[in-house]
Amino acid sequence: MHNHETELEAAERRIRSIPRCGAAKLAGMEKSFLELLEAIGEDPKREGLLRTPTRAARAFEFLTNGYRQSLEDVVNGAIFASDASEIVLVKDIELYSMCEHHLLPFIGRAHVAYIPDGKVIGLSKVARIVDLFARRLQIQEQLTTQIADALMRALHPSGVAVVIEAKHLCMMMRGVEKQNSVMKTSCLLGTFKEDARTRAEFLALLGQ
Ligand SMILES: [Zn+2]
C-alpha cells in the first residue's frame, strides 16, 4: 500500500505513528508554559502569545517523543540476514537534540558504522535509532553511547562506531564558549575498539 505514497505522505504517516503523550500531560505542559511566560515578565494575554503555551507544549511533546518509543518499535521488521562483513557507514545523519541541563537544542551530525555479523538493518532505520535517543533530554556523550549500544542490541554486529559532532546553543547563545566551537564525541565497540586497522579504516571512511 505504501508503494505510491510521496515522501511527504510517508513523513506524515511516520509522524502520526509516533505515540502522543496524552491530553492530561499536554494540558500540564501548557499550564507550565503559561506560568513561564508570566515569570519572565510577559503578558500571556497579548495577541502574539495567546496560543504560545499550546504550541510550545505540542513542540515539546514532539521533541521528547523518544521517551514513548522503544528500540523494538523502531527496528521492527527491518533486520535482514546477510553475509556482508565489511564496514557499513551511514554518514552525516542530521541530529537535533536538547541538552538536559538547559533545555536548549544541540544540533549537528551523527556518523554511525557497524560491521555485520550475519544481520544488516535498513539504512533509514539507523537514522530513526538516532532520533529515538535524540528526542529525549540528553547530554551528547550519553546520546553517543546509547546509539552505539542500541545497534549492538539490535544486530549483534562485530563492532559499532558512533561519532557525533554538534553545536550546543546553551553555550553559543549564552556566550559561554566560542560561537563556533563544535563538540565531538565518539563511542567505539567490538572490533572498532579492539582492532587498530578497523578503526583506521573507519576514520579514513569518515575522511578524518
Ligand atoms: Zn546545556
108's grid cell: 549537528
**pLDDT confidence bin for 31, thresholds 50/70/90:** very high
Q: How far apart are alpha carbons 187 and 147 in whole angstroms?
A: 9
Please check the confidence at residue 103 and state whether its pLDDT lies above 90: yes
Q: Where are the alpha helices (DSSP H) in the chain?
A: 7-17, 23-39, 52-63, 71-75, 123-134, 140-155, 169-172, 191-194, 196-206
Average of pLDDT values for 162-182? 87
**pLDDT confidence of residue 163:** 98
- Judged by DSSP in three states, 68 sits in helix
How many angstroms is it from 75 CA to the middle of ligand 1? 30
4 is catalytic: no
**pLDDT confidence of residue 3:** 60
187 is catalytic: no
Residue recorded with cell 495577541: 47
**pLDDT confidence of residue 175:** 78
Q: How far apart are alpha carbons 9 and 22 in whole angstroms?
A: 24
How many angstroms is it from 172 CA to the middle of ligand 1? 10
21 is catalytic: no
**Does residue 100 or residue 4 have the better pLDDT?**
100
pTM, whole model, 2 decimals?
0.91
Name the catalytic one among 42, 142, 165, 170: 170
- Judged by DSSP in three states, 175 sits in coil
69 is catalytic: no
Name the catalytic one among 21, 99, 138, 146: 99
**pLDDT confidence of residue 1:** 47
Average of pLDDT values for 66-75? 94
Bridge partners of residue 123, in order along the sequence? none
140 is catalytic: yes
**pLDDT confidence bin for 88, thresholds 50/70/90:** very high
111 is catalytic: no
Q: How far apart are alpha carbons 110 and 166 in whole angstroms?
A: 8
**pLDDT confidence of residue 131:** 97
Share of the chain above pLDDT 70, in %: 97
